[in-house]
Structure 1
Amino acid sequence: MARALYIHWPFCVKKCPYCDFNSHVRDGVDHAEWEAALLADMRYEAETASAQPLESIFFGGGTPSLMPPALVGHLLAEAETAWGFAPGIEITLEANPSSVEAAKFADLSAAGVNRVSLGLQSLDNDALRFLGRLHDADEGIAALGVAQQHFRRVSFDLIYARPGQSVAQWDAELQRALAFGTDHLSLYQLTIEANTRFATDVRRGVFTPLEEDPSADLFALTRERTKAAGIPAYEISNHARAGDQSRHNLTYWRYQDYCGIGPGAHGRRGGMATVRHKKPENYLSAIARTGHGISEIRPLPRREQAAEALLMGLRLNEGIDLADMAKRFAISACMLVDRQRLQMLTDLGLTWAKDDRIGVTAQGMPLLDGVLGELVHADLVEA
């Protein structure tokens, strides 16, 4: 039963050089046309998915803070009519920290948004220029202040492990970030993704990514500082005060059902995987033809679901319960993870096991991809 809704707004003013999300730059956007399309796509999902009240809604992108607040309000009203809202529903919108977008925060709050995630990315102007951001540090900090006035819950993103970044530099920036007192921080190591401008720059020798050992030192420092500040890591890159974790993202990481609408949006509901058309124009054409934006829908075999649940759940500090997962997917627990490798990884201090619950340690998190490759049973992944 779907308990969360993801809404993708695909448009940005500028494509960031590190970004591999489904984002597009267009000279103009017909908001009325997009409102009609997103409402139609939402109604299709509501008719297809179960009617369990939504516990969270997340506007992602792209840059959802470019949306008119009235459009956001209309989408929320339709979602409440279609599914109903659970008490205390979390409604998050990703926002860029420009002064123009910050000016919308009061109206977005009035429309129903109660949590905002700000893409500050850095508190250093040189780093912001390197990352291709359009705001400077002062503008970002000002936007953060406006957000804290209008939303009860505020999170912001920072990107670290940038080329040449030292422990001392990141420590100073992180301590400054922690002093703003938000309940949640998303702290990401810079990753060079394929098909981005940064990937091209690295190939051309424009810059060299930070090496693994210095990156690991910064990761360890991040966990130490955030824990001391009372917002410990609960996922590999996300940190929160107790009770202020992102409930929407926990839906993904705990492999619970959610619907996704908008260009390129993915969904998992009722044992089915859905994918929407990525290109905005193709998405609109599909809506006009079929009343929904789905480009692919397929049943998920139980083994594939179990593999996805393992790969997502082991990102969390809480880990996963093998007995519960075996029961949920009707698969023997011995088929989920390789017990011998689990013991080996635990002896190395990279994983932990307590009764039926297993997880990845703080030492193992920087090596998560390799740990998962060793731990998840090969027959499950290859099924």
Structure 2
Amino acid sequence: MNASRDPGFGVYIHWPFCAAKCPYCDFNSHVRHGAVDQERFAAAFAREMASMRQRTGPRTVTSIFLGGGTPSLMKPETVGAVLEAVAANWTVPAGIEVTLEANPSSVEAERFAGYRDAGVNRVSLGVQALNDTDLRFLGRLHSVEQALHAIRLARETFPRLSFDLIYARPGQTLEAWQAELEAAIGHAADHLSLYQLTIEEGTPFHALHAAGKIPIPDPDHAAELYRLTQEVSAAHGLPAYEISNHARPGAESQHNLVYWRYGEYVGVGPGAHGRFIEDGRRVVTFTERMPETWANLVEARGNGITGGEVLTRSEEADEYLLMGLRLVEGIDLARYEALSGRPLSNRRIAALQDEELVAPVGNHALRATPAGMIVLDAVVADLAS
């Protein structure tokens, strides 16, 4: 991969509804015990897209991502209507990556076939663990058996498949994680997202952790788990291309690369964020988080945007640094200089190189080393200061 390639233009659609709220989750997701009016939300998505199209102008989409929440609770007809709305507002070339997130507990063969017919060509499954005890601890509604069934079904239905696992769970040993990861790789088609369990403010896990009821690994053990994750994945042909994402060469998530390469994207739906160029400057948009309130706003005025800003050159450069150094390919030094108006400090780069936290890529790019990835926030703060 070339760090200077066009980072692309993505469309993100946020389906905010879930069957249950996981205790570790701080995403904008909501449980509704009555039926969701899917036709209403599909129409609101289409209307908000038309409003965004007025701001972005004509663009060629490089990837589409339906995230959530649990998008696999959508009817295939709803997914089809949403994808048609994207194509009605921007140019959508044939064959671009169209990803839908799915939970194993909401997977049905007929629904998967319907998503494929609607245009979805990649599924991201929220498996999270291959251990029934830990699945219950994580608040997941599916079993390992259901997860493996969903993986098999996805492999049969879609050209591309990814699934997520969470590690650094309470009491998890290196040996147990290695066995689980190797089992997962045996089922993976081409992509795995492997995240350390983090305790997010405002979640049930945060309160339990504060009360001493959820012991998480100490930093040294967490670092060992991270190193093991990199080694095992690479040894089995799924090397990391980003801190938490592993793929066979050529199977990287094109949509997530838009974010990490600091491309442009439109965010549509409750609580979605967007970043795109408008009148020559990068703007940030974010929408109302409560689904019904968002829909009311869209119906009243065409969009659910409740805030945003125009980024300064310095803010753009800092964001590019923060996102780009997550990638194994690193950042393009000339692009950083163009965004910020100044080059990165050679003195700071040299000091971080001496600590083996960053490394040059030829004469044009800079990347974080595996040791630097573990302390990336500190590396970014040092370079940006």
TM-score, normalised via structure 1 length: 0.94
Tell whether 2:385 aligns with 1:374: no
The whole-number CA distance in structure 2 between the counterparts of 1:293 and 1:152 is: 34
Q: CA shift at 1:55, angstroms?
A: 1.0
Aligned residue identity for 2:136: R
Distance 1:222 1:127 in 2: 18
Contact map agreement 1:2 1:50 (CA 8 A) in 2: no
3-state secondary structure, aligned to 2:98: strand
Which residue does the alignment assign to 1:10? 16
Runs (5+) with no aligned partner, structure 2: 1-6
Where does structure 1 differ by over 6 angstroms across 4 or more consecutive aligned residues? none
Aligned partner of 2:364 among 356, 377, 383? 356
Correspondence list, 1:1-383, <5 A: 3-28=9-34, 29-98=36-105, 100-101=107-108, 103-270=110-277, 271-327=282-338, 329=339, 331-333=341-343, 337-354=344-361, 355-376=363-384, 378=385
1:103 CA drift (Å): 4.4
SS at match of 2:18: coil
CA distance in 1, matches of 2:186, 2:167: 17
Q: Give the letter for the 1:332 counterpart.
A: R
**1:2–1:52 CA contact under 8 A, matched in 2:** no
Mind listing any 5+ residue stretches in structure 1 that lack a counterpart? 379-383
One-letter amino acid of the structure 2 residue matched with residue 157 of structure 1 = D
CA separation in 1, counterparts of 2:377 and 2:357?
12
Structure-1 separation of matches of 2:148 and 2:216: 27
* Equivalent pair of 1:93/1:117 in contact (CA under 8 Å): yes
Offset, 1:101: 4.4
Q: How big is each residue's C-alpha offset from its partner over 1:254-301, in whole Å with a ceiling of 9 and x where there is no partner?
A: 111110100010001111111011111221121122111111132111
Alpha-carbon separation, structure 1, partners of 2:188 and 2:292? 41
Secondary structure of the structure 2 residue equivalent to 1:371: helix
**Are 1:99 and 1:143, in contact at CA under 8 Å, matched by a contact in 2?**
no
Q: How many residues align?
A: 373
Letter of the 1:310 counterpart: L
Partners of 1:244 and 1:100 lie apart in 2 by 23
Q: Deviations over 1:4-50 (max 9, x none)?
A: 10000000011101101111111221112111111111111122213
User: RMSD of the alignment, in Å?
Assistant: 1.4
Deviations 1:102-150 (A, max 9, x none): 5411111111000000000000001101101000101000011000010
Give, in angstroms, the shift of residue 324 of structure 1. 2.5
Q: Secondary structure of 2:19's match?
A: coil
Please give the alpha-carbon distance, in whole angstroms, between the structure 1 residues aligned to 2:106 and 2:285.
36
CA separation of 1:181 and 1:297: change in aligned 2, threshold 3 A? closer
The corresponding residue for 1:381 is none
Deviation at 1:99, TM superposition (A): 5.4
- C-alpha separation in 1, matches of 2:340 and 2:351: 26
Q: Deviations over 1:323-382 (max 9, x none)?
A: 12212x26111xxx3433322221111111242311100111111122222222x2xxxx
Distance 2:206 2:253 in 1: 30
Q: Percent identical across equivalent pairs? A: 49
Alpha carbons 2:72, 2:107 under 8 Å: kept: no
SS of equivalent to 1:54: coil
**Amino acid corresponding to residue 340 of structure 1 in structure 2:** R
Q: What secondary structure is seen at the aligned counterpart in 2 of 1:340?
A: helix
State how far apart, in whole Å, the 1-side matches of 2:172 and 2:33 are: 36
Please give the alpha-carbon distance, in whole angstroms, between the structure 1 residues aligned to 2:132 and 2:324. 36
Q: For 1:2 and 1:272, how far apart are their aligned partners in 2?
A: 16
SS in 2 for 1:249: helix
TM-score by length of 2: 0.94
2:4 matched residue in structure 1:
none
